[in-house]
Amino acid sequence: MNEKPYVIDSHVHLDDRQFDVDRNEVVARAQTNQVGAILMSIHLDNIKPVIALAEQHQFKCAVGLHPNSADHADNTLESQLRGYAKHDSVVSIGEIGLDYYRDNVEPVVQHEVLRRQLALALELDLPVILHNRESTDDLLKILKEFPGIRGVWHSFLGTVEEAESYLELGLYLGIGGPLTFKKNEALRETVAQLPLDRLLIETDSPYLTPAPHRGKRNEPVYVRHVADMLAEVKKVSLEKVAQQTTKNTRTLFNF
């Protein structure tokens, strides 16, 4: 039988409550199907559990404050993240960024906490995982204040022009479930024009479930549907997509 090539889901919220009932089965399905994972933290309370999950299952993880919890930052943020970053499983500062769609945290607070985490990423020489929702211009503007920053623009849904401005900054682009949505022909046409050596694949589990599982909870093994669609869109083999996106992920996150 044809073994499926190894792939890495570069964006997973494995500590999410939606996985409480069957987290070990979800992990087992990923591992028996040759799927690796990078686990996200989003607020200070979930960093320890996320690191523990990564270490238990030999995954990697990111530590940071999501813009929707940026108001939880106090003056110990940097020292806490520096301490967590000493763990071998920690490969990134994330998930950080801006979110103007959910407006529970003032933009000025989001900006300050983002700048502090970008500065810390440079200090620690770690790449960042960037969240953007209705905040593209401000996120780009702030990123440009930090030359040399490395990272991934997670859940890329933009135009070719937007992609070019992120690629120019040296960022990778995270491609997820929306690539498989029937209505997203424009996104497929855009992604067809992007360089495969700058793309990562991701699920954002438990959110953004790809076809044909839409309406159900997402999980890392479904990254295979993203990989299949990316191969179709780029008109290359699945093996090529798997090999190149895995290489990109390992290069960016240095493991």
The nearer residue to Zn ion, 203 or 248, going by C-beta atoms, is 203
CA–CA distance, 230 with 78 (Å, rounded to integer): 37
- Binding residues among 75-104 for Zn ion as defined by CB under 5 A: 95
Positions in 189-218 near Zn ion (CB under 5 A): 204
Q: Which residue, chain included where needed, has tokens 């050596």?
A: 197
CB of 79 to Zn ion, least distance (A): 24
Strand (E) or helix (H) holding 91: strand 90-99
Q: How far is the CB of 19 from Zn ion (least distance, A)?
A: 14
Task: Kindly tell me which of 69 and 234 has the beta carbon lying closer to Zn ion.
Answer: 69
The tokens of 24 are what? 């070990």
Looking at the Cβ atoms of 95 and 163, the one nearer to Zn ion is 95
Least distance (Å) from Zn ion to the CB of residue 9?
Answer: 11
**What SS3 class is residue 17?**
helix
Q: Which is nearer to Zn ion, 15 or 95 (CB)?
A: 95
Q: What is d(CA 33, CA 205) in angstroms, rounded to the nearest whole number?
A: 16
Closest distance between Zn ion and the C-beta of residue 90, in Å?
A: 16
User: Based on CB atoms, which residue is closest to Zn ion, 99 or 204?
Assistant: 204
Q: In sequence order, what DSSP letters do the residues of 95-128 get, joined into one string?
A: EEEEESSS-SS-HHHHHHHHHHHHHHHHHHT--E
CB-wise, 95 or 234, nearer to Zn ion? 95
Minimum CB distance to Zn ion, residue 208 (Å): 9
Q: Specify the 3-state DSSP secondary structure of 181.
A: coil
CB 212 within 8 A of CB 225: yes
Question: Shortest Cβ distance from residue 204 to Zn ion (Å)?
Answer: 5
The nearer residue to Zn ion, 95 or 241, going by C-beta atoms, is: 95
User: How far apart are alpha carbons 88 and 167 in whole angstroms?
Assistant: 28
Rounded-to-integer distance, Cα 201 and Cα 7, Å:
8
Strand positions, DSSP E, 122-210: 128-133, 151-153, 172-175, 199-201
Give the integer Cα–Cα distance in Å for 204 and 130.
12
CB of 40 to Zn ion, least distance (A): 5
List residues near Zn ion by CB under 5 A: 95, 204
